[in-house]
Amino acid sequence: MLDKDRSKHRFDESLVDVYRALERLHRGGPGSTEGDFSERLLILSQEIIDAYERQYGNTQNVRLTADGVTNLLHTTSIAELRAVLAEYLGHKEQVLVLFDNLDKGWSYKGIGTGDILILRCLIDAARKVQREMRKTDVQMSCIIFVRNDIYELLMNASPDFGKEARASLDWSDPDLLREVLRRRLAQSFREHITFAQAWGLVCASHYDGEETSQFLIDRSLMRPRNLLKLIGYCKSFAVNLDHEKIYAEDIAKGLRSYSNDLVLEADRELADVEPSAKGLLYQFVGEPSEMPEEHLHLHLQMHGTSEDKL
């Protein structure tokens, strides 16, 4: 909040006093020096270690109470900080706390029980903060983005997880993906423009007898990120070859680069769910797109992947 409203509070008289109070409390806490999140977390961890050693020294088998843990973690009164933060957020119509890209820090060996436990703790903490803020009439919502396969693992490890609100973000309508592209292109042209008008200016109309936008959407696995990545590859080849727009040959080259990335990403996602399946996709190089079931089982056995886990 301090970072987002660093300039805004200077021009809003209602925010000045409470912003300064919040800033004062934040500066008084551990790990509040400048730097990115990882740097501040490292400083915070070291200060906790130092505080523990000052209080307990080399004493073995120390059992900390909840109050003892709180005293180590926080040098600022949590109640005071919560009150000032709630007062500040009361000036907002709504507060959204978004958690994304959680899988970037996970091990390449796959998802472990520790990762699922951390995710459950994050959900519980978000629910607690959300509940405390709503007691002070602050409309706060915490949203955590995870892949479908990770959500299934979370469900299996949490018997009572059905009470959590869930929204699926699966894309199934090609026209919605075209709208994503239209809005991106409209930002470049800085004017309202239809998709057909914008697409005709940046890309050839057909590739191999098929309308190009539909051709690219069909190969994006209905994921906006994949679609933008595929078009980005095609655009890069068009720019490097000094083309006026994306031609059929640029699409062919971009599709090859995108396909290589897609295989790597699919292999990683598969390994996240089942570590023994790492590299399984490469077992099917050179194989036909359709094969008998017994051939599929044979490939799984050759790779050493347990069939009952896939």
Residue 208: inside a domain: yes
pTM: 0.60
Number of domains in the chain: 2
Q: Based on the domain organization, do 269 and 182 belong to the same domain?
A: yes
Q: What is the mean pLDDT of residues 217-230?
A: 92
Burial of 254 (0-12, 13-18, 19+ CB in 10 A): buried
Q: Which domain holds residue 111?
A: 93-169
Other C-beta atoms closer than 10 Å to the C-beta of 277 total 22
Domain closes at, from 169, 200, 234: 169
Q: Based on the domain organization, do 196 and 161 belong to the same domain?
A: no
Q: Is the pLDDT of residue 285 over 70?
A: yes
DSSP for 220-243?
A: TTT-HHHHHHHHHHHHHHHHHTT-
Q: Is the pLDDT of residue 253 over 70?
A: yes
pLDDT tens, 77-131? 667 888 888 889 988 888 999 988 877 766 656 677 788 888 888 888 898 888 8
Length of the chain: 310
Residue 142: inside a domain: yes
pLDDT tens, 161-203? 666 677 877 788 899 999 999 998 888 877 788 999 999 999 9
pLDDT tens, 24-72? 887 765 545 556 667 777 877 888 888 888 888 888 888 888 777 777 7
Q: Based on the domain organization, do 198 and 211 belong to the same domain?
A: yes
Residue 109: inside a domain: yes
pLDDT averaged over every residue in the chain: 83
Tell me the C-alpha distance between 208 and 204, whole Å. Answer: 11
DSSP for 67-136?
A: HHHHHHH-SS-HHHHHHHHHHHHTTSS-EEEEE--GGGGS-TT---HHHHHHHHHHHHHHHHHHHHHHHT
Tokens 């000094």 sit at which residue? 242
Alpha-carbon distance values, 153 to 116, 148, 214, 277 (Å): 8, 9, 33, 16
Q: Based on the domain organization, do 259 and 182 belong to the same domain?
A: yes
